[in-house]
Amino acid sequence: MDRWTAREVVLGNGQRELPCQKEGAGRPNLRPQSLAITSGDTSVEEIDLSDLGLTAPLLLFDLGTGQKCDPDSKLDPNRDYGLLCDPSMEVASAQFFKGKNRSAYLLTRPLTGETRVLCAGDPYWEPLLANTQRRRAIRLALESPPGDVVEIETATHIDVKGVPDDASEVSLIIGRRDIQ
């Protein structure tokens, strides 16, 4: 069991840093079992993390939202996912990281039906993909009109090059502004 400690950080209004394990502890623990909260030598609370469902042999996470997903749900092939698996499981051709008693895999888009988790060489899990079309790659270029010299912080027109002929709507989002 690792210990989380709170330390004052000398920044602004006294922010706190909570490391998930001791410094220099080596590989991260990808299967934490409990969280102990203490004040000095006094135990304040101990939380059993097994209630969070982190002990399953295979955990799936949507990397866009950070949310845990049900491995039996339909997955969007245009999203990136992360898998935490028992060390006996493997995913061919996926980025891999070995933890203390877990392995982590990065499943990058486009997710295909050929992605499989094997346990001792036998199929264990494969994604159920939603029927969504793969997004085509579109490369756009923003250019100032020919011959225009634009000064910083002045209004100007821009030409958008590379918009597909079959596009029905185009938006340019700058910061939080949506410009049609």
Over the stretch 44-95, which tens digit does the pLDDT of each residue have? 888 777 777 677 889 999 998 889 999 999 999 888 999 999 888 999 878 8
Cα distance between residue 9 and residue 16, in whole Å: 6
The pLDDT score that the predictor gives to residue 15 is 43
Task: Indicate whether 165 pLDDT > 90.
Answer: no
Over the stretch 89-138, which tens digit does the pLDDT of each residue have? 999 878 888 877 888 999 998 888 888 999 988 999 999 888 766 567 78
Three-class DSSP category at 49: helix
Instruction: Calculate the average pLDDT of the chain.
Output: 78
The answer to whether the bond into 77 is cis (omega within 30° of 0) is no
The pLDDT score that the predictor gives to residue 46 is 83
pLDDT band at 2 (very low <50, low <70, confident <90, very high): very low
More confident residue, 43 or 36: 43
Task: Indicate whether 145 pLDDT > 60.
Answer: yes
The pLDDT score that the predictor gives to residue 60 is 94
Cα distance between residue 23 and residue 7, in whole Å: 13
**Cβ pair 83, 59 in contact under 8 A:** yes
Cα distance between residue 173 and residue 175, in whole Å: 6
Separation in Å, CA 168 to CA 45, 158, 172, 179: 57, 19, 14, 15
The pLDDT score that the predictor gives to residue 140 is 84
Task: Indicate whether 7 pLDDT > 70.
Answer: no
The pLDDT score that the predictor gives to residue 1 is 41
The pLDDT score that the predictor gives to residue 10 is 46
The pLDDT score that the predictor gives to residue 106 is 93
